[in-house]
């Protein structure tokens, strides 16, 4: 497979926030380079094999993995326990003062609309409600 397409496939998987399917990869390539481009499932699999071999040769901490009929970047099994530990540590973090204040208002005044919450707090609550 052309090195350019291998790089494009890598970029598509890297930029996707969820598993990206073979059909989506083909659609993206043909959408830019034209419908006449000859690319199929076996081309994608050979590009992924080449990428994963390259990652392994360089000792990278990640690889491309097939999940839910799509492809994602994932940490290698060796590194997964460290990433998992860090993720669990982040989930144990405490709520900020603003988050506690917002939660207390919602608990006390429920049901409450966003404009009512912002009037009580005196500030925009977009960010805190999304956390």
CA distances from 122 to 103, 126, 131 (A): 15, 12, 18
The Cβ of residue 129 has, within 10 Å, a number of other Cβ atoms equal to 13
Q: What mean pLDDT is predicted for residues 95-119?
A: 88
82: burial class by Cβ within 10 Å (0-12, 13-18, 19+)?
A: exposed
Residue ranges per structural domain of the chain: 3-87, 97-130
Do the Cβ atoms of 27 and 40 come closer than 8 Å?
Answer: no
| Cα–Cα dist 92/118, whole Å | 27
Residue 129, pLDDT score: 77
| Band of residue 124 on the pLDDT scale cut at 50, 70, 90 | confident
User: Residue 63: is its pLDDT beyond 90?
Assistant: yes
pTM: 0.65
User: Residue 98: is its pLDDT beyond 90?
Assistant: no
Do the Cβ atoms of 99 and 128 come closer than 8 Å?
Answer: yes
CATH topology of domain 97-130: Arc Repressor Mutant, subunit A (1.10.10)
Please name the CATH architecture into which domain 3-87 falls: Orthogonal Bundle (1.10)
Q: Assess whether the region 3-87 and the region 97-130 belong to the same CATH fold.
A: yes
User: Residue 66: is its pLDDT beyond 70?
Assistant: yes
């Amino acid at each position: 497979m052309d090195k350019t397409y291998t790089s494009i496939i890598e970029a598509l998987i890297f930029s996707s926030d969820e598993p990206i399917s073979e059909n989506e990869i083909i659609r993206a390539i043909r959408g830019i380079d034209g419908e006449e481009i000859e690319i199929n499932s076996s081309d994608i699999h050979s590009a992924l094999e080449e990428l994963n071999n390259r990652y392994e040769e360089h000792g990278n901490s990640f690889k491309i993995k097939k999940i839910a009929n799509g492809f994602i970047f994932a940490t290698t099994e060796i590194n997964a326990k460290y990433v998992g530990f860090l993720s669990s540590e982040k989930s144990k973090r405490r709520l900020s003062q603003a988050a506690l204040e917002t939660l207390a208002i919602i608990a006390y005044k429920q049901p409450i609309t966003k404009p009512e919450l912002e009037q009580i707090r005196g500030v925009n609550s977009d960010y805190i409600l999304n956390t």
